[in-house]
Chain A
Amino acid sequence: MTRALVALLAVAVGAAGIYAIGARQAHDHAPITLEAVPANHLAFASYQPGTWKRTVFILALGSDERAGLGGARTDAIHVIGLNPALGRATFIDIPRDTWVDIPGHGQGRINEAYGDGGVALTAQTVSQLVGVPISYVLVTTFAGFTKMVDGIGGVNVDVPYLMSDPNSGAAFNPGLQHMNGAQALSFSRDRHIPDGDLARTGHQGQLIIHALTDLRAKGTTLTDIVRDLDVLYRNVRTIGISPTDLFRLAQTALAIRPENIRNYTMPAALGFKGAASVVFVRQPDASSVFADFADDAVLQTH
């Protein structure tokens, strides 16, 4: 479960296998949380195999929350659409500095919604932008992300160009390489690259898909998935999601073949709002992409 959200969930499960250290459901500041959005939550009274055929949209967030630092924002924002019937998934990558309307808070960068209103407001903001109902939100911190990647034994990443950025710690030559959690975090945070934040958000989506590929290779039987849930529960705080619904979600996510996952960065343009560097939604291209995505979570014309 690690494509913008599908992928992230997969990574969370895999990581839990190794980092089974947390107190079960007891950590208020868990590095990873998975929360249902009440209005759109797909819940079933009892488990019935095969009933999850509906398209589901999940929001994956990477928070920069760190001990001692207040005002957490979301460095990574991805909407993951899963279409079980078609066996396809799409990641829509949203640059963190995207300038949007934040309900009740005027205009601002989309990553400010998390500090303004947490998961609920972020989900509302993203849902308003993309035009899809968000059913679940997965949030991971730097520490959680690092653990997730290490937990699945690292991830293979094809670095497109030389990356050298003291701020993020990225120091990579071009080409395919195996990264541990800390390296993957650096790769996903580096924005001092061609196309800056736009390229960075695309890298995050790619990384999640790579991780998903690795996870699938480790086993996707039903027994595997149930056991994965045990390790997930040791590390991920779940809110509003029953175990059987989570099982169903994991089963759905892992059934999608990596080659059927599309990673697409929202049409956008770098610019300024006053003196502040921001990312503007590029219209009408973005609306066209969102409409294509919203009907079935698959991009047919983009």
Chain B
Amino acid sequence: MRFRPLVLVAVVLCLAGAACSSSPKKPQARPGVTGTVAVQMHVREVAAGELISPARGIRPLDDPTKARVLAAVQKLFDATLVDPLTAGQAGSIDSVFTNDAVRQAATVDRAAMYDEALPRITRLKADKAEVQLTGLAGGNDQAALVIAKFGWDVTGDGGKVHIVRSGELSLIPVLGTWLIAAYDVANATTVDGTTTTTTAVKK
């Protein structure tokens, strides 16, 4: 499946609560800035989430499930990409992965799952931060599995850092929330013209 071209994600970059970078009133990034740079970038659902049901065919994924899954993806995006680049430190992903998956994601797959040890940047622009959700109903006809297919393309400080990350996340319901239990991710990071590619798979 490919992303439907419904929405070309606009990037929302707000520094210190000011307007976005395209605004004439944007704040000037100051070289050597220290402390946390406040950045908000929202992943966007690019097609209405769908639920595959043996009994009822394809129907829209219910809003609560969709919201929880998107929140998990957003958290992953923030903690592994935005935070390391803008604050110099990755956020915690413990709350969005199952215990089994986080052990692998945070250790052996860390290079693919996190954008760390990169030059700290003050401006971020996302040409793409897309998510497509496809669910599968279980025996009770409620969502039992959601595949989040994502594609991120983020540039920092006008091209100093360029990150392209894509893949699929398998999320399952656990005690009222949705957690990433498996993943297949490819990450390409370009710094000053040199690209490093990493992949990670948790089945």
The interface of chain A, by Cβ under 8 A from chain B, is: 24-25, 46-50, 219, 221-224, 226-227, 229-230, 233-234, 238, 242-244, 247
Contacts and interface: CB of A to CB of B under 8 A. Distances in A.
Nearest to B137: A243
Given A223-B1, A229-B136, A46 B203 contact: no
Nearest to A223: B1
Nearest to A231: B52
Interface string B154-184: 0000000000000010101000000001101
Interface string B80-113: 0000000000000000000010000000000000
Given A223-B132, A224-B1, A47 B138 contact: yes
B54 interface: yes
Contact of B54 (A221, A222, A224, A233): A233
Contact of A242 (B53, B134, B138): B138
A234 B58 CA distance: 11
Contacts of A219: 1
Contacts of A233: 52, 54, 57
Contacts of B1: 219, 221, 223-224, 227
Interface in B118-156: 132, 134-139, 144-145, 147, 149
Contacts of B138: 46-47, 242-244
A25 B182 contact: no
B60 to A, nearest CB: 14
B155 to A, nearest CB: 26
A112 B178 CA distance: 49
Contacts of A50: 100, 181-182, 202-203
Top-3 shortest CB links A-B: A49-B182, A230-B52, A223-B1
10 contacts: A46-B144, A47-B172, A49-B181, A49-B203, A222-B170, A223-B132, A223-B149, A226-B145, A230-B58, A243-B144
Interface string B46-64: 0000001111111000000
Contacts of A47: 136, 138, 144-145, 172
B76 to A, nearest CB: 16
A296 B168 CA distance: 30
B1 to A, nearest CB: 4
A247 B136 contact: yes
Contacts of B170: 49, 222
A170 B121 CA distance: 68
B132 A244 contact: no
A48 B180 CA distance: 11
